[in-house]
A and B are shown apart, each in its own frame.
Chain A
Amino acid sequence: MSRDEVTRLEIGSDVQIAGARQAVRQAAVAAGFSLVEQTKIVTAASELARNTLVHGGGGHMELAVVENSGGHGIRLTFTDDGPGIPDVDVALSDGYSTGNGLGLGLGGARRLVQDFTIESRPGGGTTVTAVAWSRMAQRVPR
């Protein structure tokens, strides 16, 4: 069901985070996302890309356009070789930050998309996958 159009972008600087946001915005427009849907996935991408840079020490984002019988979706995969997240549930809870952020990025990104998974081991890097579907595609039972 997935049309494998995968784009890979480095996440190593603020400028590259901005580039990732723009790529996601373009893909969302092309996939027929509404303005609200675009803004949600772009905002989630911004949070996850910044976590990759700030907490993971940099990495990359893979952007894929996926589809089902109802419409299109966007799958974003953020990967880094950083320190990993010792306790994912704690990291996801609102207000938890080991830096000086608001501690809302990870949990907020999860709420902004439909599918969300985190794979992380202490010392073994982190991979976060987020998938958002357009409204029409969301109606199709998964």
Chain B
Amino acid sequence: MTSVGSDGSGAATVAQVLETRGEQVAQQWADLPLFRNVYTTGRDAAVAAAHRLVRVLAEVARHGRLDDTSAPDFERVRPHLAQTVTARTRSGATHQQITAEVAELKRPLLEIVARETGGADGAVAAVELMGTLRVVVVEIALSEGAELIDRQRAQLLEISNPVIKLWDGVVAVPLIGTLDSARTQVVMEALLQAIVDQNAGMAILDITGVPMVDTVVAQYLLKTAMAVRLMGAECVISGIRPQIAQTIVQLGIDLGDITTRATLADALKWALGKAGVSVVVGEG
């Protein structure tokens, strides 16, 4: 049996318990919600994951860095913890729930430490170590949240304005929603790139899905049209609905000599006409 060293090193005690009784700790942790809820396919995977965490905590304790959230040993479990946090978040758990689940890991460890050692030093050290783990998990949860928002924002920027090829040499972007400067930038870059990649001579900006055109949106449209022209392609703005046409006129916005069409279909017909393709409506 381990007893508290004369130097009073609780850290060493905890390290030793985690090393010699790691399997036991891992078995008990595997049944707790944190692991059970994530490793739903089988208990073995939960035990293995718990054991991985036990080994890392043992090393953190062995190096005497009980209160150090940036202990290098934690780095090794960070990806695994991040996966666990992400999995719990996806299934609807809040940050508070996740940290409460981490806190639940403490009790079985304390029981085993108490059984294996006599003094209080080991228990105090175990409490400290588990508190540090909780902080590490909170940090991970926060950075995962921020990353998720960034990722979703980036995806939204791309998804909401895909550049599509309508015909050989004809590309179109159906714009949907409010155009802010970040989105316009993305649209413009994607459109110009598509013009190069597909060697397109016509680009259609369709604004059917844009709820309002004010002076700022108009400026974005004008700049995009100008950039398309600088690439040697022609630009058509389509999907100008009656209410949008009226507000554009009342604002006094001059779309200059940019070609406009009421619908995307009209714009395509125009583009095909320019390209020398005639559209024949079949009979029957």
Residues of A within 8 A of B (CB): 14, 18, 21, 25, 35-36, 38-40, 42-43, 46-47, 50, 94, 101-102, 104-105, 107-108, 111-112
Contacts and interface: CB of A to CB of B under 8 A. Distances in A.
Interface residues of B, number: 19
22 contacts: A18-B178, A21-B212, A25-B211, A39-B211, A39-B212, A42-B211, A43-B214, A43-B247, A46-B212, A46-B216, A47-B215, A50-B216, A94-B252, A101-B219, A102-B253, A104-B215, A104-B251, A104-B253, A107-B252, A108-B215, A108-B251, A108-B252
Contacts of A94: 252
B190 interface: no
Chain B contact residues: helix, strand, loop or mixed = helix
A112 B251 contact: yes
Chain A contact residues: helix, strand, loop or mixed = helix
Interface of B: 178, 180, 211-216, 218-219, 242-244, 246-247, 250-253
B215 A105 contact: yes
B218 A102 contact: yes
Contacts of B242: 36
Nearest to B242: A36
A38 B241 CA distance: 13
A57 to B, nearest CB: 18
Contacts of B212: 21, 39, 42-43, 46
B214 A40 contact: no
A104 B248 CA distance: 10
